[in-house]
Chain A
Amino acid sequence: VDKSEAKRRLLSYRGGRSENDPEVEEALAVARQDPELEEWLAKQSSFHGGISRELRGIPVPAHLKAAILKEQIIIPFWRRAEFLLAAACLVLGLLLSAFWFGPAGEDQSFAGFRSRMVAFALREYRMDILTNDPAQIREYLRTHGAPADYSIPPTLGTTPEIGGARLSWQAKPVAMVCFKGSGKQTSFMFVLDQRAFDQGPLPGPNPERRSVRGVMTSSWIQDGRAYLLFSGEVPAPVAPAPSR
């Protein structure tokens, strides 16, 4: 075993732990007889210790434990509902909505809203109404208290609408309008009142592009409404309502 091979074998050696690997044992024997290699090994050990300390020092958010324990409340409902399947679906849907859009401890800035909406689309989104008729989508949103006076941005041109939903973020109504993109792409437009944001900067009147969770988003303010637009290939929506 030459020096370079010994280094390769000992690169991940953590003092006192050879992982029962004869190759490592052999390299250790070489290192014990080579002062330069021994010194290198000591520096490696110090490096490993330093990286461990830094990673173990990552601060844990104070609210996290309470948030996890709060979710546990879901479980008894869920288990009991095994006998009442229909009721369980409803409860689970509500709880999931609370999970994704709940106000507790969440970043209440526009950035928080943007991040939450992208996460919603990435994971499993739902549509309340499935139709290609823009007027029906607008009417549905209006009658359910969501912003319905939105303007379709020119970038979407004649892209057909496929549905929408009335969502909630920080207890504020959010309009979601979905568009059929090319191929399997779906475009999502979220609209809510700009006064919903208590903190943090808002986008300006010109679309502001920002990558969130790997998704390129565009956001802007128009006529008192905050808009968020992005496209992507997403799973089919959860339990879409039938066409109306």
Chain B
Amino acid sequence: MAQDTDFERLVNLYYPPLYRFAFSLTRQESDACDLTQQTFLIWARKGHQLNDANKVKSWLFTTLHREYLQQRRKMARFSDLEFSESESELPEIPPVPPGRFDGPAVLQAVSRLEPSFQAPIALFYLEDYSYQEIAEILEIPLGTVKSRISRGIAQLQNLLLAGEPRLAGKDCRG
């Protein structure tokens, strides 16, 4: 019973930020719901293995991100998507950042970022995590996080300034 209460408290605390993180990665409500549910399902099975109670939130984010990557790898077998890291230099920084934008434009622009930039950028803006925390959640080196966030921000600004970004994929919500 106490276990149920703990679980519910955890869900109350973290399901909204986890869903938003999932949605910023997938841009599809059903996929984001699936990922969030799957994350808590894994917590219910394996959460007791976590010794440090202060790391529950980052554990959940890490788990959700792992699940997302796993699903994308599977999907990659169905399509020609490339997930290799871009070696491009920092894109040109616009002289002035975009001043006005709305939610849909931001989501479209985030979805058009290079895949490796999407998760760091989402965590950077959604959760105000430090670089170190983002590195731990995404299980990548600190320097890589810094570089991806800088490049991601420059790319995001250029996309928003370019006007309406093209949709990266068609929304499948019936």
* Residue numbers in B under 8 Å from A58 (CB-CB): 19-20, 23-24, 103, 107
Complex Cα distance A12/B153, Å? 7
Interface check B88, CB cutoff 8 A: no
B37 & A71 in contact (Cβ 8 Å cutoff): yes
Looking at chain A's contact residues, the main secondary structure is helix
Would you call B157 and A214 a contact (CB within 8 A)?
no
| A115:B40 contact, CB within 8 angstroms | no
Residues of A within 8 A of B11 (CB): 65, 68-69
Contact in complex: A107, B173 (CB < 8 Å) = yes
Q: How many residues of A contact B (CB 8 A)?
A: 55
Asked if A200 and B19 make an inter-chain contact with CB atoms under 8 angstroms apart, the answer reads no
Q: In the bound complex, how far is the Cα of B129 from the Cα of A55, in angstroms?
A: 14
Segment among A40-48, A139-147, A170-178 that sits at the interface with chain B: A40-48
A154 lies within 8 A of chain B by Cβ: no
**Interface membership of A166, Cβ < 8 A:** no
Are B77 and A72 touching (Cβ within 8 A)?
no
Q: Quick check: A55 and B93 within 8 Å, CB to CB?
A: no
- Of chain B, the residue at the smallest CB distance from A105 is B33
- A67 sits at the interface (CB 8 A): yes
CB–CB B124/A68 < 8 A: no
Q: When each residue 100-143 of chain B gets 1 if its CB lies under 8 Å from chain A and 0 otherwise, what string results?
A: 01110011001000000000001011101011100000000000
- CB under 8 Å from chain B, chain A span 66-93: 67-69, 71-72, 74-75, 78
Given that A40-B96, A111-B172, A233-B78 are known contacts, is A54 also in contact with B102, CB under 8 Å in the complex?
yes
Shortest C-beta distance, A118 to chain B (Å), equals: 9
Write out the residue numbers on chain B whose beta carbons fall within 8 Å of the beta carbon of A233: 77-78
Given contacts A19-B130, A215-B78, A232-B78, are A54 and B101 in contact (CB under 8 A)? yes
- B97 close to A122 (CB less than 8 A): no
The residues in B between 7 and 45 inclusive whose CB is less than 8 angstroms from any CB of A are: 7-8, 11-12, 15-16, 19-20, 23-24, 29-31, 33-34, 36-37, 40-41, 44-45
Q: Kindly state the separation between the CA atoms of A210 and B173 in the bound complex, as whole angstroms.
A: 12
Q: Which residues of B contact A (CB under 8 A)?
A: 4, 7-8, 11-12, 15-16, 19-20, 23-24, 29-31, 33-34, 36-37, 40-41, 44-45, 71, 74-79, 81, 90, 93, 95-99, 101-103, 106-107, 110, 122, 124-126, 128, 130-132, 146, 149-150, 153-154, 156-157, 169-170, 172-174
